[in-house]
Amino acid sequence: MKDTTQKTFMLNMGPQHPAMHGVVHLILELEGERIVSSKAEIGYLHRAFEKHAETETWNNVVPWTDRLNYVSPLINNVGYVAAVEKLAGIEVPERGQYIRVIACEISRITDHLTCLGASAMELGSFTVFLYMIKAREYLYQIVDNLTGARITTNFTRVGGVKGDLPPDFSAKFAVAASQVREVLRDCDKLLTKNRIFMDRVEGTGIISKEDAVAYGITGPFLRSTGIPYDVRRAHPYLVYDRFDFEIPVGSTGDNYDRYLVRMAEIEQSLRIIEQALAQIPQGKHSLEPAEIKYAYELEDMGKNGDTELISKYAAKVDQTLEGMGKETHGSVRAPNRWATLPAKENTYTNIEGLMNHFELVMWSWGVKIPSGESYSAVEGANGELGFHIVSDGHDGPYRVRCRPPCLFIMAALPKMLDGAMIADVIPTFGSVNMIAGELDR
Amino acid sequence: MNLQQGERRDVPAAQNHEALFALKSEGFNMLVDLTCVDYLPQKKSPRFDVIYRLMRFDPVDGKDLGRVEVHCAVGSEPVLRSVRDLWPVADWLEREVWDMYGVRFADRPAIERLLMYEEFVGHPLRKDYPIGKRQPLIGPKSGDKADSPSFNILKPTVTGE
């Protein structure tokens, strides 16, 4: 007689599940509490980033990149414009490169804090979640101060960044860094040797070096297996070759190693920012308050015929974007007129700046990147974040391909889940740090 | 030279598997990316360019020893062979290329969509797929019936395209 008893049963985790970071669907085949096979279904947050990018101008794609990995938007901003600049052969001034490094590293810390905090919460440690989100908030204040927004940063431009560092940035960051370090010390005491936490994460979600390479996994996930690959070291972009930092690695590739690697990377990122703030070349960026006037005051001067006088002042254009009130764009943006937006004080106060700006933002005029293809990668918080860009010489991209680092980890998820217990899904999935915005684009 | 991009190699689509296998034996052990570009408006024939991005990766000290990008020009007929046997992650990446461009792979006829849903009609990243097109499950914007003449007609955009 045919045996009709079924030994396994299916369980759907998601698309909406409290332990899934974003909308994702895991289909598990279970035998008791053991996972026999698993499958991940993605695409619930597909927003057609790549299709939209083809209809935008080069600079207009930057706000879309914020929404890729929305926990570390600044890295996406930098990654995208780096690919465009590589194709166009634009060199960003040193001060601009330092500001980009600082922005990237702040984002990396916020990303790691979110990942660790959320995973800890799912394993029952709500205190750590609150502490880490508190630390992230200190850094979001810094990001807000720098870019004018906490998450939708839109900070880079082709050829540079939006504005210079705001006044007292170093001092503000030093305060935030000490607060973050204090939180990390607390969380370290709460988690690293905590029996309850270690029982859940130690020895679960193991991935071997061979599998990690076969699946194209990069970032903290790869480093937890003991391979010290980091795009910042392998291809030192921006000015990363000038900083002294370590690449923390694990040994076994389990969830506990990934936790330790991320904790150690936060400290390394803080070190990089401190070195960058110490090294950053001083452009003409410390204007006296008496040299800055509101744009409308300068406009009035122009109307009164004091055109000679205008050039002696810098324009304060927007109270919320503190870095923009200073006449420093020469040191944060590439000095070319065909691709880099002019400083706002020029746009508002003289006809050359106004026309330059207008031609760069006008439909079908704009920034014309020479035709060709380029691929450029930066170290995202999850791994190698690559952008492959094709231009046909028009004012917008012909094709933008984003290589999302967590897609490669998600593809390998069944490797880590099959044979494990259902309770192991939570720490393993937490350590993947799946960001649906980046995964589904 | 752009080291992250690597050297470009053009390979006939019918020999993609052999060429990639040879590269893998040469030491290019990591498939960094697999993607596609549609050259329909530029009237290239065949219209698609499928790009395999490989890295010669040193798993001991994590060094990138060189990269290469393999370009295969294909139409939508199944000429390319799947490289799932060389790199397991190619499974998902090929599903994405099929989903977005409708490029098929010879030895996997029953391929699933990766990002879009099962009932989705068409391949959205093709250049002839209008960005404002509405899908049957979504329904018409104005409440028109799906067979009405105004359904699925793209409104002119600012650029006039």
ipTM: 0.82
Residue A285: pLDDT band (50, 70, 90) is very low
User: Amino acid letter at A45?
Assistant: L
% of chain A with per-residue pLDDT over 70: 88
| Nearest residue in chain A measured CA to CA from B24 | A214
Using an 8 Å CB-CB cutoff, list chain B residues near A222.
Answer: 62
**Residues from chain A contacting residue B51 (CB–CB below 8 Å):** 388
pLDDT value of residue A396 = 84
Option in B88, B116, B158 nearest A215 (CB):
B88
- Whether A14 and A23 have beta carbons less than 8 Å apart is answered as yes
Residue A291's pLDDT is what? 60
Residue A325 has pLDDT above 50, yes or no: no
pTM above 0.90, yes or no: no
Provide the residue type at A240 as one letter. Y
Q: How far is CA B158 from the centre of its chain?
A: 28
Please give the C-alpha separations between residue A20 and each of A108, A113, A119, A126, A215, in angstroms, as whole numbers: 21, 17, 10, 16, 22
Residue from B1, B3, B5, B98 whose CB has the most chain A CBs within 10 Å, to mutate? B5
Stretch A50-76: mean pLDDT: 88
Question: What was the pLDDT predicted at B128?
Answer: 84
A4-13, A78-87, A248-257, A424-433: which has the minimum mean pLDDT? A4-13
pLDDT at A104: 92
pLDDT averaged over every residue in chain A = 84
pLDDT band at A345, cuts 50/70/90?
low
Q: Exposed, middle or buried, A434 (CB in 10 Å: 0-12/13-18/19+)?
A: buried
pLDDT at A78: 92
Coil, helix or strand at residue B35: strand
Q: Quick one: pLDDT at residue A287? A: 41
Q: How far is CA B15 from CA A201, B19, B128, in A?
A: 45, 6, 28
Residue B147, pLDDT score: 54
Cα–Cα distance list, B43 to A76, A394, A425, B22 (Å) = 32, 17, 48, 31
A-chain CB neighbours of B38 within 8 Å are 399
Q: Which residues of A touch B131 (CB under 8 A)?
A: 48, 51-52, 55
Question: How far apart are the C-alpha atoms of A296 and A280, rounded to whole Å?
Answer: 32
- Report CA Rg, chain B: 19
Rounded to 5 degrees, what are φ and ψ at B66? Answer: 140, 150
In degrees rounded to 5, what are phi and psi of residue B143? 85, 5
Average pLDDT on A175-203 reads 90
**pLDDT classification of A9: cutoffs 50, 70, 90:** confident
Q: What is the mean pLDDT of residues A69-82?
A: 90
pLDDT > 90? residue A315: no
Q: What percent of chain A clears pLDDT 90, i.e. is strictly above it?
A: 23
pLDDT in tens, A130-168: 999 999 999 999 998 888 888 888 888 888 888 778 878
Report whether A71 contacts A435 (CB < 8 A): yes
Task: Give me B100's structure tokens.
Answer: 């977005």
Nearest to B114 among A43, A364, A375 (CB): A43
Burial of A112 (0-12, 13-18, 19+ CB in 10 A): buried
Flag whether pLDDT at A319 surpasses 70: no
User: pLDDT value at position A337?
Assistant: 72
Selected residue of B48, B92, B128 to mutate for chain A interface (largest A Cβ count, 10 A): B92
What pLDDT shows up at residue B34?
Answer: 92
- Residue A37, pLDDT > 60, answer yes
Contact B69 A227 (CB under 8 A): no
Give the C-alpha separation, A412 to A335, whole Å.
45
Q: How far is A426 from chain B (nearest CA, A)?
A: 23
**Cβ-Cβ contacts under 8 Å, A215 against chain B:** 87-89
Confidence bin at A322 (pLDDT 50/70/90): very low
Residue of B nearest to A215 (CA): B89
**Spatial separation of the C-alpha atoms in residues A195 and A191, rounded to whole Å:** 8
A232 and A379 Cβ atoms separated by less than 8 Å = yes
Closest chain A residue to the Cα of B5, Cα to Cα: A375
Does A288 score more than 50 pLDDT? no
- Average pLDDT of adjacent 10-residue blocks, chain B of 161 residues: 79 88 89 90 86 88 86 84 89 90 84 86 85 73 54 47 40
Q: Are B101 and B122 in contact (CB under 8 A)?
A: no
Spatial CA neighbour of A11 closest among A434, A427, A420, A422? A422
The pLDDT of residue A110 is 93
Shortest CA gap B23–chain A (Å): 14
Chain B hits for A377, Cβ within 8 Å:
4
